[in-house]
Structure 1
């Protein structure tokens, strides 16, 4: 690259910065957030290969290589943690992920704007409730002693059900909680993508005699297909993550065999027992698996002719 070309490129960049200076100023808080809380802490993963001591610090803690990873993979709980984490996420992927798409399609078919806004407000509301409130509502509904569901069963002479202490129901309860809390909020991106669909396509379809279901199937869904693939790929990147707060609040001794996941395991060893290096190694393992899933899913999406995320 010649000096003249470099100078021309720098001049072009400077002009763009000056032209859009207010937009870049608006982006500064977001940029600082990711820099301070996402990128700078990445250097802390080196303690996964150290016997980290807060007194000695990262620079002076002794290196142990892959000892923490070997200990983690040889832990008898590893298989249990992997199974529980994957099953909770698979249930969420199968039953929760499609629901925002369906809700968005249904809300898009509403012709009354007032009714549509009311429905949107109702389905968005649970997103703003904390998991503490969600867990409290779950206990109020499903508790054996005073739960509304069990009290109703008792009124009709039926035997009460141990919803919260039954390992077979724990994953189902978590999935239902996630669906109720986040399905409405998840429709936002899909509704935005639907709004960008060319209205002339619907007009042409109506002239050809296509009903509303046909228009939805042949126009709306293909229009948001790329958004669906992108969100699916990003969702696969979190297959090793389970909402810690949700699981922790619903955790009890009776369901420990199905409730112990990587996040609760890290909390017990890293926070409660101070095993910082070991818990960092577990977190790094989760991140690597998530990265591999994203890369694999992105390549698969491109083979099917989709754009992917990069």
Structure 2
């Protein structure tokens, strides 16, 4: 035993010297990591202590640690609400619709932009498509109200010009979810395409040249070269999207919905905002947030495990 310990000691010292060597050699790269690490610690990890509010009768004067413990009371109250099952269904329905429509859209846009040969036109289209990402949902909600207004909206003006009755888009339970989906896709499609464009630029041009020599057209090159080359990027982004399946877009829904579409548009975040924060029930809102986080973590782990079993790298 002593001999083994003595033999292992030099190896440990060698490993430590090697680590110090890497720190000294790449000190500038590690220094660049410091702001990002500080951001994660200060804004992501440090506030996590507040999760205990979900298990306490939180009082602003007594503070987080001075408030009385109530155990799982708020979780029982949350699941006991008559509207909560409907809220869960709405959240999943809207998230899945956004996933089905909104996730492939950036991939298609990136593939189309990658096929453009006029660089000026390509850059112009890329700029126009990702600019909506920087527009607030408050502004987009106002635009949607003006465009879809039954009395003065341009869409209903066109409908009336063909002799049909105006449609109350934002008050229709059948149409409201689709308005959320397509407005979200329009806002984020250009921003998401940037990642796929970067992945497409990393493909070796010799693969396309060889495919051209073999007589493959552009569609065959996209299907057999471009898509397989960015498959790992698609898988990683899909896994991250699945982890946020219960995030159906709080700000978007809050700005655009109204009482007539609560049955199809009221999601977890907006429901908790109305019921919890509206009555200053901080413990209830924290319990709902913790519930979402746990479910999202479970979904991410399951999806990542499935991806790794299928031969992909996954997120971790």
TM-score, normalized by length of structure 2? 0.94
Write out aligned runs for 1:139-154 (5 A).
139-154=145-160
**3-state SS of the aligned residue for 2:92?**
helix
Q: How many matched pairs?
A: 310
**Displacement of 1:245:** 1.1
| Counterpart pick for 2:105 among 94, 99, 103 | 99
Measured in 2, the distance between the counterparts of 1:266 and 1:31 equals 31
- 1:206 and 2:204 are equivalent in the alignment: no
**Displacement of 1:69:** 1.0
**Displacement of 1:183:** 0.6
Segments of structure 1 that go 5 or more residues without pairing to the other structure are none
**Displacement of 1:218:** 0.5
C-alpha offsets along residues 164-213 of structure 1, whole Å, 9 cap, x if unaligned?
Answer: 11111110000010111101111111111111112221122112111111
| Counterpart pick for 1:262 among 265, 268, 275 | 268
C-alpha offsets along residues 217-252 of structure 1, whole Å, 9 cap, x if unaligned?
Answer: 001100011111111111000111122111011121
- Name the structure 1 match of 2:124: 118
Measured in 2, the distance between the counterparts of 1:48 and 1:125 equals 38
**Displacement of 1:9:** 2.7
- Name the structure 1 match of 2:198: 192
Measured in 2, the distance between the counterparts of 1:270 and 1:36 equals 26
Which stretch has the larger CA shift, 223-232 or 264-273?
A: 264-273
TM-score, normalized by length of structure 1? 0.96
**Displacement of 1:128:** 1.4
Segments of structure 2 that go 5 or more residues without pairing to the other structure are none
Write out aligned runs for 1:1-310 (5 A).
2-310=8-316
Measured in 2, the distance between the counterparts of 1:8 and 1:77 equals 62
**Displacement of 1:66:** 1.3
**3-state SS of the aligned residue for 1:164?**
helix
Taking only aligned residues, the RMSD between alpha carbons, in angstroms, comes to: 1.4
Which stretch has the larger CA shift, 299-308 or 151-160?
A: 151-160
**Displacement of 1:22:** 2.1
Measured in 2, the distance between the counterparts of 1:116 and 1:154 equals 37
**3-state SS of the aligned residue for 1:51?**
strand
Measured in 1, the distance between the counterparts of 2:217 and 2:157 equals 46
